[in-house]
């Protein structure tokens, strides 16, 4: 077999994904791009044609191990250089060895926020539970702003820090529905939302960008141009696999199907013990394989995906239609489906802890753990930047890479915690490094920048590590859930816990070493957000165990992408220079990479 070959043509064009005409970044003329299907372990060759006028792009195959092909990971500035505008480039790697549900998306700036993403399926049954299904459907779950992605990114990265607010729509397979006449869902709260500030003070409502005005009614909104809802056909008495793809840039979702329970059988490409639920939580970066049994009255049922963890709830709908049932016009908006309240984080906590793995890859024993990384996940204001229009200081930044025990003062006034400042200064190096990390390592140039103070951690292939991600309130007191994704390898989830980790024997004994589920993206526990005082207090921590499969520079970051590169919630685990395979012959060069050194290397 020659393997999977595909071409992805990336372009910018105007489309109406949610009844509102907007410039989007499409793949082969669509958002999302095509669902790619590979056989386990086969050679995958994906040629990307970047037709955009001036924007570079990359494709990260999210969840693929890239064993011995770290250069193909598509994480621009880490594994390689982005693909320049008006240029083509071919990714080449072997698919993961086992069946499962994956995704792909651009890993440059705001391009994935603008639409560059899709689904990757490694075909075959992930476990016995899925061996006898009657069919499958893919649900790519995405969130969508009417502000252009460049504006969102610039707002997050500028000294005037502007938060883009909640998305205007949620999309299922690129289809959403914005209500052209009623925008009651989101208005700009001047005191609570940075997007209402210009850094000097509150912006008068009349001067707000249109999408933040209380009376926002997009002129490009055309209710007759709304896409039809996606319809998934099932046959009476059949069992179907729904592949749910958490492709959002910010939103944490709950998905439910009217009149049907669901059985979770897969987390991020790994089998789970079947778990029966009434609805599923899925955060950015995560994928779930879910079985549904078509055993109700033949009819058309509503599928509902709702934003959680934020009170500005947006909803997306799709339909589940029993083949041959009478065609009825369903108004999905009025259909009530039991789903947890937006701030019911106990639901999330319970569901995350109820998932059990099948020991498809046995968890390494605690005695093998060579180092435990303790990471503090918070948001602070730093260094004379402005936020919320308060005359004071300091923009908010998501911070990981702090050792547990270094607690910011948590007053939203200043970061006079020296370690925090040192972290932030280090992070500047992180972003100002123009040579991709992998090339730095391989060509032994500028490796002295790859220090732990700069958020680069060296690990070894085959050794075992733990990470405790301690969630910590942001400086405004809010403890928000985040979704952390590891490149290049999966991890075992040893548990999600309330409170603060202190390393006591008792806490360590509570780790699940019997049947931890395997994932590559995991949520931190939280108490919800949006100024509900009674749910602010608690936070919690999640413990994961990982074992690098192959050499590389593997980012570990918040997959709520607005928190990642633009706000700094990202670190890199790298394996050093030893054992790094040579770069591909089509290696892209950028930044201060020394072309001659590279040519010499390639000739050796
Ligand atoms: Cu899908 Cu670095 O992420």
Q: Are 113 and 249 in contact (CB under 8 A)?
A: yes
Question: What pLDDT is stored for residue 469 in this prediction?
Answer: 86
Provide the pLDDT for residue 159.
62
285 CB within 6 A, ligand 1: yes
201-205, 355-359, 375-379: which is most confident: 355-359
Q: Are residues 480 and 378 in the same domain?
A: yes
Does residue 244 lie in a domain region? yes
Ligand 1 centre distance from Cα of residue 526 (Å) = 22
Q: Is 205 exposed, middle or buried (0-12, 13-18, 19+ CB in 10 A)?
A: middle
Mean pLDDT is lowest, of 12-16, 344-348, 399-403, for 399-403
Residue 350, in any domain of the structure: no
Q: State whether the beta carbon of 94 lies less than 6 angstroms from ligand 1.
A: no
Cα separation of 267 and 293, whole Å? Answer: 19
Rounded alpha-carbon distances, angstroms, from residue 533 to 119, 478, 528, 536, 537: 38, 9, 10, 5, 8
Atom of ligand 1 lying closest to residue 487 CA: 2
Pick the more confident residue, 399 or 490: 490
Question: How is residue 301 written in tokens?
Answer: 């049922």
Output 412-417 pairs: Cβ under 8 A, ≥24 positions apart: 412/380, 412/381, 412/387, 412/475, 412/476, 413/381, 414/381, 415/380, 415/381, 415/382, 415/383
Q: From residue 396, how far is each of 158, 274, 354, 412, 510 by CA, in Å?
A: 11, 40, 34, 8, 34
Q: Is 209 in the pocket of ligand 1 (CB under 6 A)?
A: no
- DSSP 3-state of 430: helix
Same domain membership, residue 119 and residue 145: no
Distance from C-alpha of 100 to C-alpha of 126, rounded to nearest angstrom: 6
Residues 79 and 136 in one domain: no
* 3-class state of residue 384 by DSSP: coil
For ligand 1, atom 3, the nearest C-alpha belongs to 62
Kindly tell me if the per-residue pLDDT of 249 is higher than 90.
Answer: yes
Nearest atom in ligand 1 to 285's CA: 1
Cβ 497 vs Cβ 542: under 8 Å = yes
CA atoms within 13 A on the CB side of 299: 12
Query: Do 115 and 170 belong together in one domain?
Result: no
Using 50, 70 and 90 to split pLDDT, how confident is the model at 144? very high
287 lines ligand 1 (CB under 6 A): no
Q: CB-based contacts of 498: which residues, under 8 Å, 6+ apart?
A: 349, 525, 538, 540
- Residue 386 scores a pLDDT above 90: no
Vertex 179 angle, CA 176 and 183, to 5°: 120
CA of 487 to the centre of ligand 1 (A): 7
Give the residue ranges of DSSP H helices in 464-566.
505-509
Instruction: Kindly report the length of the chain.
Output: 604
**Residue reference for tokens 């069946």:** 99
Per DSSP, helices labelled H in 324-389 are 345-354
379 within some domain? yes
- Bridge partners (DSSP) listed for residue 180: none
pLDDT at 188 over 80: no
Residues 523 and 586 in one domain: yes
563 pocket-lining for ligand 1 (C-beta < 6 Å): no
Domain membership flag for residue 497: yes
Beta-strand runs (E) in 524-569 = 540-546, 553-558
Does the structure show a pLDDT above 80 at 565? no
pLDDT score of 384: 41
pLDDT band at residue 397, thresholds of 50, 70 and 90? very low
Residue with more model confidence, 382 or 320: 320
**Mean pLDDT along residues 467-495:** 86
Ligand 1 atom 1: residue of nearest CA: 62
420-432, pLDDT tens digit by residue?
Answer: 444 444 444 455 5
Q: What is the DSSP string of 414-465?
A: ----HHHHHHHHHHHHHHH--S-HHHHHHTTSSGGG--GGGTEEE--TT-EE
Q: Is residue 353 part of a domain?
A: no
What one-character DSSP code corresponds to residue 210? G
Q: What share of the chain is helix, strand, coil (3-state, %, to 5)?
A: 15, 35, 50
The pLDDT, as a whole number, for residue 579 is: 92
Domain stop point among 97, 124, 151: 124
Task: Tell me how far apart the alpha carbons of residues 290 and 303 are, in angstroms, rounded to a whole number.
Answer: 13
Q: Does the pLDDT at position 220 exceed 60? A: yes
104, 124, 144 - which closes a domain: 124
Residues 464 and 580 occupy one common structural domain:
yes
140 and 177 share one domain: yes
Nearest CA to 62 among 9, 100, 90, 113? Answer: 100
The range of the structural domain enclosing residue 97 comes to 4-124
Which of 101-110, 299-308, 368-377 has the weakest average pLDDT? 368-377
| 392 and 469 assigned to the same domain | yes
- 319 C-beta closer than 6 A to ligand 1: no
Q: Shortest CA distance to 233 belongs to which of 282, 292, 281?
A: 292
Q: Is the pLDDT of residue 91 over 60?
A: yes
Predicted confidence (pLDDT) per residue in 521-546, tens digit:
999 887 644 444 444 445 889 999 99
Is residue 357 in contact with ligand 1, taking CB distance under 6 Å?
A: no
* 116, 479, 467, 381: CA torsion to nearest 10: 80
The number of the ligand 1 atom at minimal distance from the alpha carbon of 62 is 1
Give the confidence band of 417 by pLDDT, cuts at 50, 70, 90: very low
The last residue of a domain, from among 124, 159, 175: 124
Between the CA of 72 and the centroid of ligand 1 the distance, in Å, is 13
pLDDT surpasses 80 at 403 = no
By C-alpha distance, which of 189, 560, 167, 527 is closest to 342?
Answer: 527
Asked whether the predicted pLDDT for residue 554 surpasses 80, the reply is yes
Compute the distance between CA of residue 12 and CA of residue 368 in angstroms, rounded to an integer.
49
pLDDT band at 374, cuts 50/70/90? Answer: confident
Asked if 250 and 113 sit in the same domain, the reply is no
Judged against a pLDDT cut of 80, whether residue 192 lies above it is answered with no
On whether residue 352 sits in a domain, the answer given is no
> What CATH code is carried by the domain that includes residue 304?
2.60.40.420
The closest of 596, 584, 600, 597 to 81, measured between CA atoms, is 584
Residues 419 and 524 occupy one common structural domain: yes
Distances (CA, A) of 304 to 135, 145, 316, 545: 20, 19, 6, 33
Q: At which residue do the structure tokens 């229009």 appear?
A: 389
Q: Above pLDDT 70, what percent of the chain? A: 81
> Which residues on neighbouring strands pair with residue 516, listed in sequence order?
none
**Band of the pLDDT at 133, cuts 50, 70, 90?**
very high
Quick check: 467 and 295 in contact, CB under 8 A? no
Picking from 568, 530, 191, the residue whose alpha carbon sits closest to that of residue 398 is: 568
- Ligand 1 within 6 A of CB of 63: no
Residue 75 alpha carbon, nearest atom of ligand 1: 2
The reply to whether 115 and 135 lie within a common domain is no
Asked if 286 and 486 touch (Cβ cutoff 8 Å), the reply is no
Q: Alpha helices, DSSP H only, in 47-126? A: none
Does residue 105 lie in a domain region? yes
Here the ipTM equals 0.99
Q: Please check the confidence at residue 405 and state whether its pLDDT lies above 60.
A: no
Q: Residue 80 Cα, ligand 1 centroid: separation in angstroms?
A: 14
Q: In this structure, is residue 428 part of a structural domain?
A: yes
Establish how many alpha carbons lie within 13 A of residue 453's alpha carbon, considering only the half-sphere containing its beta carbon.
11
DSSP string, 486-498: ESSS-EEEEEEEE
Query: What's the rounded mean pLDDT across residues 112-136?
Result: 96
Count of structural domains within the chain: 3
Same domain, 146 and 11: no
Residues near 418 by Cβ (< 8 Å), separated by ≥ 6? none
Assign 412 to helix, strand or coil: coil
CB count in 10 Å sphere of residue 476: 18
**Is it the case that residue 454 has pLDDT exceeding 80?**
no
């Amino acid at each position: 077999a020659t393997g999977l070959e595909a071409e992805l043509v990336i372009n910018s064009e105007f489309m109406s994904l949610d009844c509102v005409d907007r410039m989007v970044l499409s793949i082969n003329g669509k958002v999302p791009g095509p669902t790619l299907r590979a056989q386990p372990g086969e050679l995958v060759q994906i040629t990307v044609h970047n037709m955009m006028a001036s924007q570079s792009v990359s494709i990260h195959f999210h969840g693929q191990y890239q064993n011995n092909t770290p250069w193909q990971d598509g994480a621009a500035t880490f594994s390689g250089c982005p693909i320049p505008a008006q240029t083509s480039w071919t990714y080449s790697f072997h698919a993961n060895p086992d069946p499962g549900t994956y995704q792909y998306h651009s890993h440059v700036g705001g391009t994935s926020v603008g639409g560059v993403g899709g689904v990757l399926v490694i075909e075959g049954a992930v476990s016995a539970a899925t061996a006898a299904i009657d069919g499958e459907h893919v649900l790519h779950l995405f969130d969508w702003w009417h502000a252009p992605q460049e504006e969102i990114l610039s707002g997050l990265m500028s000294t005037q820090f502007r938060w883009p607010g909640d998305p205007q729509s949620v999309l299922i397979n690129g289809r959403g529905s914005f209500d052209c006449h009623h925008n009651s869902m989101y208005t700009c709260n001047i005191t609570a939302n940075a997007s209402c500030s210009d850094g000097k003070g509150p912006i008068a409502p009349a001067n707000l960008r249109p999408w933040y005005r209380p009376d926002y009614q997009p002129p490009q909104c055309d209710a007759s141009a709304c896409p039809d809802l996606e319809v998934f056909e099932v046959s009476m008495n059949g069992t179907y696999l729904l592949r749910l793809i958490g492709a959002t840039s910010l939103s944490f979702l709950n998905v439910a199907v009217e009149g049907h329970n669901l059985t979770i059988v897969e987390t991020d490409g790994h089998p789970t013990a079947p778990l029966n639920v009434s609805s599923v939580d899925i955060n950015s970066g995560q994928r779930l394989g879910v079985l549904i049994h078509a055993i109700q009255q033949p009819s058309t049922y509503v599928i509902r995906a709702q934003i959680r963890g934020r009170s500005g709830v947006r909803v997306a709908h799709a339909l589940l239609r029993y083949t041959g049932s009478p065609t009825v016009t369903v108004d999905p908006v009025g259909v009530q489906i039991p789903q947890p309240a937006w701030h019911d984080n106990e639901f999330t906590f319970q569901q995350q802890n109820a998932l059990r793995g099948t020991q498809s890859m046995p968890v390494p024993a605690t005695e093998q753990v060579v180092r435990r990384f303790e990471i503090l996940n918070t948001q602070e204001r730093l260094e004379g930047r402005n936020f919320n229009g308060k005359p004071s200081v300091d923009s908010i930044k998501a911070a990981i890479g702090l050792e547990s025990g270094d607690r910011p003062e948590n007053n939203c006034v200043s970061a006079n915690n020296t370690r925090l400042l040192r972290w932030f200064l280090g992070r500047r190096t992180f972003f100002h490094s123009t040579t991709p990390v992998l090339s730095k390592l391989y060509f032994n140039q500028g490796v002295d920048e790859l220090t732990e103070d700069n958020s680069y951690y060296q690990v070894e292939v085959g050794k075992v590590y733990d990470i405790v991600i301690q969630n910590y309130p942001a400086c405004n007191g809010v403890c928000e859930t985040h979704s952390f994704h590891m490149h290049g390898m999966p991890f075992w989830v040893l548990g999600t816990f309330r409170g603060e980790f202190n390393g006591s024997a008792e806490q360590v004994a509570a780790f699940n070493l019997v049947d931890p589920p395997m994932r590559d993206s995991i949520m931190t526990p939280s108490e919800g957000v949006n100024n509900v005082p009674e749910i602010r207090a608690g936070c919690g921590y999640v413990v994961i165990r990982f074992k690098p499969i192959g050499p590389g520079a593997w980012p570990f970051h918040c997959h709520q992408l607005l928190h990642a590169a633009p706000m700094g919630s990202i670190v890199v685990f790298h394996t050093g220079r030893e054992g790094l395979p040579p770069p591909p012959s089509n290696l892209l060069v950028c930044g201060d990479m020394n072309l001659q050194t590279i040519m010499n290397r390639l000739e050796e």
